Chain A
Amino acid sequence: MRPFLPLAALAALSLPAQATEVPPMAAEPARTECSACHMAYPPGLLPARSWKAIMGSLDKHFGENASLDPATAKKIEDYLVANSAEAMGFTGVTRGLAADQTPLRIADMPWWRSIHGDPAGRWFHSGRVAGPGDCAACHEGAQQGFFHDE
């Protein structure tokens, strides 16, 4: 395995000490809808306000129209907020984030950058890796919530 991520990465996120796992996006319809184009990202890796902003702009979702019917969108937003970083007690996820900042990308979170570096870096655009959001390209267990695989 590549010595790419510091071993303390997950500890820095204030995940439980024994955890090698971030609770994955398990609930429906969130899992199916969110994983149609990309990995279903663990809801605990963003603050609630980020999820609200994402769900409020699905028709312009990182250059794609990802709109959903309002009833489905509401269910998913409620689930994301109820499992957001704050709700999960992942204080490390919001550490370093100013109150007026609402990143829409996990790779724009200070915690992500402190672990991975610059998301514009060549590493994340290698062809094999579709971008900094392509977690599973390096973290083989990402879909199941396992990131502690360095």
Chain B
Amino acid sequence: MRAAPRFLALALALAAAPALAGPRDDLIAGFAGAAGITPSAERGHAFFLATPGGGNADTPSCSTCHTADPRAEGRTRAGKAIAPMAVSKTPDRFTDAAKVDKWFRRNCDSVLGRECTAAEKADILTYFASL
């Protein structure tokens, strides 16, 4: 009896994977193309952990709320859980372009005090997709 739900979940995950990977790959390719770069998970990792300054004192880094491990659940300043950013943990991450744009607009301003560049977006999404 216990195996059935697991099998079902696996089957659903496998069925959903190709449908979700498409829009995410397209998004990353779009940012990388706009920046004229080959995206790098390593640069994305460094960007995620950096404390660039320029933003709000309460949110000096992405990792302030998301923790240093994107596979872990984060926590907003108001106390709500944030689903892991790692695609392996939250498979529907970065498949909705409007949602991605909204959160880059908000969080880049909060952390850096400016918009993120297309290169930064391509790199950090590549990092999250690599985990």
Contacts and interface: CB of A to CB of B under 8 A. Distances in A.
A69 B101 CA distance: 11
A30 to B, nearest CB: 15
Contacts of A39: 78, 80
A64 B80 contact: no
A69 B78 CA distance: 22
Interface in B47-95: 56, 58-59, 75-80
Q: Which range contains the number of B residues in contact with the other chain?
A: 10 to 19
Given A63-B56, A63-B58, A64-B56, A131 B106 contact: no
A62 B107 CA distance: 13
Interface in A29-45: 35-39
B124 to A, nearest CB: 17
A5 interface: no
B110 interface: yes
Given A63-B56, A63-B58, A65-B110, A131 B78 contact: yes
Nearest to A38: B78
A133 interface: yes
B105 A64 contact: no
A20 interface: no
Contact of B106 (A67, A129, A130, A136): A67
A68 B102 contact: yes
A87 to B, nearest CB: 25
A66 B77 CA distance: 13
A134 interface: yes
Contacts of B77: 37, 63-64, 130-131
A92 B110 CA distance: 36
A137 interface: yes
A67 B106 CA distance: 7
Which of A37, A66, A129, A134 has the most CB atoms of chain B within a 10 A radius of its CB?
Answer: A37
A134 B105 contact: no
A65 B79 contact: no
